[in-house]
Chain A
Amino acid sequence: MSQEILQPEFSDEVFSQDVDLDEMRATERKAKRQATVRMIRYTLLKLLALIFTVAVGVYFTVLIANMGGYVDEIRRGQIRETIVLAASLDPEFRQLPESERTAIIEQRVANEEARYGLDRPFILRSFSYLADAMTLNLGFSQQLSSDSGSRLVRNIILERLPSTLVLFGTSNLLLFFISLFFGLTLSRRYGSISDKLVLGLAPTSAAPAWFYGLFLILIFAGLFSLLPFGGMVSAPPPDNPLDYSLSVLQHMILPVGAWLISGIFLTIYQWRTFFLIYASEDYVDMAKAKGLTDRMIERRYVLRPTLPNIITQFALLLITLWTGAIILETVFNWPGIGQLYFRAIGVFDIPVILANTVVYAYLLALTVFLLDFIYALVDPRVRIGGGGEKS
């Protein structure tokens, strides 16, 4: 029946030839190939710009972490104090004449300072710090050591990273997908009771996760003794991998719960508002007028145009996992990166601070770099300089 409808009495010459869809596609492909060359040049430039940005950011961190060189003074003081103390405890040393003792102490201090590189001016050293950091030559920590006793910054960080990733990966992925789903659902039910409820509960996010964590610990660990107070695994750790995972899972319930309570309503509210704005675009009304089903409208006219934003949110979320959360980890005594960062700042352990920063900077730069390509894949409006736009 539909075939009959399709043959209105059009003027004949218009349909003298069949429409060749394949040929049209071929023309489009040719244009795409030309764009590839432009794209490679763009990619290289973009990469250079990003590396430069990372370098600038890391250099600032070098300056700030050293308090513009003042940390050197602190370090010199520490060195002198340690050496004088060590020397004064040595009975042989005490019998030496005054001038000789001073000479020996000065010699030892000079050696130690040379070991830390303190004999060179800070400004020169700042650049060698930068070079090391940029090449991910993370070196040795000055104060902290890993639980297994290693002073290698790489080991210290790698030891902490998995626990942070497990906790915040779970929390944030749950938060992201739950809020995305409910945000979309609520945007469809604007003004309903559930919508108003979420709106009313959104201010709960004003309090941070650790705040809710305290109450959760109080209730579920203190009052009811259902769940552990903190830590990552029960002591002693179970040998069986299955039991070990179950134990970790059990320890994760409260921190993940705290994270969700603190984030969920505001994030749902944000997504709901975001989708509401995009659902009031003219082309969405048009899709409705076209008699498409609600599912088609949602998929093609709401989700697809907003995909770049959703992907951006997701990518940014992935890299924030790297930093952990200082206070939440402390409250739950979770052996993660956040705690490590906090301790490193407290004792001016510059290599550890720098390592944290430079890895984060690289992850961020990489994300930005990849996002550009993902945008181009999901959004045809994102094209590289020149070409296309006529209006």
Chain B
Amino acid sequence: MENKNDDKLLEIKNLRLHFSTRGGTVQAVDSVNFELKRNHATVVIGESGCGKSSLAKAVLRLLPRNIKTYDGQVILAGEDIMALDDETFRRTIRWKRISMVPQAAMNALNPVMRIGEQVAEPAMVHLSLTKKEALQQAVRMFEQVGVPTDFVYRYAFELSGGMRQRAALAMSLVTLPDLVILDEPTSALDVLTQASIMNLMKRVKNQLETSFILITHDIATSSELADSVAVMYAGQIVEVSDAFQFFSAPLHPYSRKLMASVPRLRMDVEPEFITGQPPSLINPPTGCRFAARCPARFSKCDEEPPMLQIGDRQVKCWLHA
């Protein structure tokens, strides 16, 4: 359907999503630039409250009522989907091209509808399948993600947390979209389930050639799946790198701190933490937003750093200028 030679699936340019609240304007997503290749998985990492989930919502245009600014470009396979009107967006983008597994997948299922029906729904709406065909498709997806197939006739409350998560994943894949956005899909699960779901996504990625954006603060688990990494801090992306280079040598001081905070099993290294809190997204500091907590800050940090290109990596830090 699309131009297969162009291996750029998604390109986000200057995406901004600001909310107006009683306290002021929250700059949840501020001038984010970001690219994703076909059949790639990008992990977006960062602390809680740095705008990761808002980024996901901005891409799928799932906006709360109090938006103040929402602009920029989201280019999906060469087409700026920000320019589409709401109805076209609903019909042609949502779930047909981009689907998601939400943060609280446990609550993402309607309690009074059978799981299969909910999983099959997008296939009926977007692929114009009959109910029976769509249910068959749902059952196939259940097999893919390791949900017992008779669960299509169950209700959400009859499923364990891990099973619901898998069902949500099956739902996100049912229309075989180009891109699946996973918003902390494993954060509510135990480590064994986390591992099996990560393996599952790896397998799905290879078999269905889906691209993933995985939003998480769980660096260790996400390293399993990641082809590239984007680090988000205070509403901005501060580092983009391929996964291998990132995990061996992160560039941005914040990335380094994040990596250092991961507990190690065998090594005698204390996990570090970053002192202080991320800045409020209402009136974020001018200059580098991480400066206040940065161990390597110097005079230049009062000015906003540009996104620097270092080889095929990008970093927003004066240290690398």
Does B135 contact A21, Cβ atoms closer than 8 Å? yes
Given contacts A11-B207, A289-B99, A291-B94, contact A21 B110 (CB under 8 A): no
Known A-B contacts A19-B140, A282-B104, A286-B102; A390 and B90 likewise in contact (beta carbons under 8 Å): no
Residue of B nearest to A23 (CB): B150
CB contact under 8 A between A19 and B136, given known A2-B129, A391-B160: yes
User: From residue B59, how far is it (CB to closest CB) to chain A in Å?
Assistant: 11
* Residue of A9, A15, A291, A380 with most chain B CB atoms under a 10 A cut-off: A291
With A19-B149, A24-B149, A283-B109 as contacts: A290 and B122 at CB distance below 8 Å: yes
Contact A381 B157 (CB under 8 A): yes
> Does A301 reach chain B (CB closer than 8 Å)?
yes
Known contacts A2-B127, A190-B65; A388 and B158 CB within 8 A of each other: yes
B127 contact set on A, CB distance < 8 A: 2, 5-6
Shortest distance between the CB of B203 and any CB in chain A (Å): 9
* Contact in complex: B65, A191 (CB < 8 Å): yes
Q: Give min CB distance, B201 to chain A, whole Å.
A: 15
Given contacts A2-B127, A291-B90, contact A28 B153 (CB under 8 A): yes
Closest to A380 in B: B155
Q: Interface size on B (CB < 8 Å)?
A: 51
- Assess the B157–A291 pair: CB atoms within 8 A: no
Contact of A305 among B108, B112, B152 (CB under 8 A): B112
Instruction: Report the separation of the CA atoms of residues A378 and B111 in the bound assembly, to the nearest whole angstrom.
Output: 11
- State whether the Cβ of B283 lies closer than 8 Å to any Cβ in chain A: no
Bound together, the chains give a CA A21 to CA B153 distance in angstroms of 9
Question: A289, B102: Cβ atoms under 8 Å?
Answer: yes
| A2-B128, A292-B125 known; A281+B140 contact, CB < 8 A | no
Decide: A285 and B153 in contact? CB cutoff 8 A. no
* The one of A6, A287, A291 that contacts B93, using a Cβ cutoff of 8 Å: A291
B158 touches A390 (CB 8 A): yes
Asked if B95 and A389 sit within 8 Å, CB to CB, the answer is: no
As a 0/1 sequence over residues 134 to 160 of chain B, the CB contacts with chain A under 8 angstroms (1 = contact) are: 011101100110000110110101111
Return chain A residues, CB-CB under 8 Å to B208: 8
Report the bound CA distance from A9 to B153 in whole Å: 26
User: Which listed residue, B95, B104, B111, touches A290 by the CB 8 Å rule?
Assistant: B95
B32 to chain A, nearest CB (A): 20
Interface string of A1-14 (1 = CB under 8 A from B): 01001101111001
Given contacts A190-B65, A289-B100, A390-B158, contact A381 B111 (CB under 8 A): yes
Measured CA separation A305–B110 after assembly (Å): 8
Cα separation A168 to B270 with both chains bound (whole Å): 73
With beta carbons under 8 angstroms apart, the residue of B122, B128, B139 that contacts A21 is: B139
Q: How far is the CA of A192 from the CA of B270 in the complex (A)?
A: 54
* Nearest CB of B to A52, in Å: 31
Chain A positions within 8 Å of B157 at CB level: 380-381, 388-389, 391
Within 8 A of A (CB), among B66-123: 90-91, 93-96, 99-100, 102, 104, 107-113, 121-122
How far, in angstroms, from A4 to B194 measured CA to CA in the complex? 32
A25 interface residue per 8 A CB criterion? yes
Whether B113 lies near A300 (C-beta < 8 A) is yes
Query: What chain B residues lie within 8 Å of A28 (beta carbons)?
Result: 150, 153
**A304, CB-defined interface residue at 8 Å:** yes
Residue of A nearest to B158 (CB): A388
Q: Is the CB of A14 within 8 A of B144?
A: yes
A27: CB under 8 A from chain B? yes
Does B137 contact A6, Cβ atoms closer than 8 Å? Answer: yes
Is A73's CB within 8 Å of the partner chain B?
no
Contact with B along A315-349 (1 / 0, CB 8 A): 00000000000000000000000000000000000
Q: Mark A198-232, 1 if CB is under 8 A from B, else 0.
A: 00000000000000000000000000000000000
Please provide the chain A residues from 268 to 323 with a CB less than 8 Å away from any CB of chain B in the complex. Answer: 281-283, 285-293, 296, 300-301, 304-305, 307
Nearest residue (CB) in B for A5 is B176
Whole-angstrom CA separation of A391 from B164 in the bound complex: 10
CB of A305, distance to nearest CB on chain B (Å): 5
Check B285 for interface membership: any CB of A closer than 8 A.
Answer: no
CB of B8 closer than 8 Å to a CB of A: no
Complex alpha-carbon distance, A5 and B173, angstroms: 12
Q: Once the chains bind, are A9 and B108 in contact (CB under 8 Å)?
A: no
User: What's the Cα separation between A289 and B125 when bound, in Å?
Assistant: 12
B284 located at the interface, meaning its Cβ lies under 8 Å from any Cβ of chain A in the complex = no
In the complex, the answer to whether B161 meets A285 with C-beta atoms within 8 Å is no
Answer whether residue B256 sits at the interface, using C-beta atoms and an 8 A cutoff: no
CB of A106 within 8 Å of the partner chain: no
Q: Are A390 and B160 within 8 A (Cβ)?
A: yes
Task: List, in ascending order, chain A residues with CB within 8 A of B94's CB.
Answer: 288-291
Interface residues of B in 213-248 (CB under 8 A from A): none
Q: Is A243 an interface residue (CB 8 A)?
A: no
B62 in the interface, Cβ–Cβ < 8 Å?
yes
In the bound complex, residues from chain A placing their C-beta under 8 Å from that of B158 are 388-390
Which of B110, B157, B158 has the largest number of chain A CB atoms within 10 A? Answer: B110
Instruction: Let me know if A24 and B150 touch, CB within 8 A.
Output: yes
Smallest CB separation, B40 vs chain A (Å) = 18
Having A19-B139, A286-B109, one finds 14 other A-B pairs with CB under 8 Å, namely: A24-B150, A27-B150, A283-B108, A290-B125, A291-B95, A291-B122, A291-B125, A292-B122, A304-B110, A380-B112, A381-B155, A389-B157, A390-B159, A391-B157
Query: 3 smallest A-B Cβ distances: which pairs?
Result: A291-B94, A282-B107, A2-B127
Q: B residues engaging A (CB < 8 A)?
A: 60, 62, 65, 90-91, 93-96, 99-100, 102, 104, 107-113, 121-122, 125-129, 132-133, 135-137, 139-140, 143-144, 149-150, 152-153, 155, 157-161, 171, 175-176, 207-208
- A-B contacts, 16 of them at CB < 8 A, read A6-B137, A6-B176, A9-B207, A10-B140, A19-B139, A24-B153, A281-B107, A283-B107, A286-B102, A286-B108, A286-B109, A304-B112, A304-B113, A379-B111, A380-B112, A391-B160
A interface with B by C-beta (< 8 Å): 2, 5-6, 8-11, 14-15, 19, 21, 24-25, 27-28, 190-191, 281-283, 285-293, 296, 300-301, 304-305, 307, 378-381, 388-391
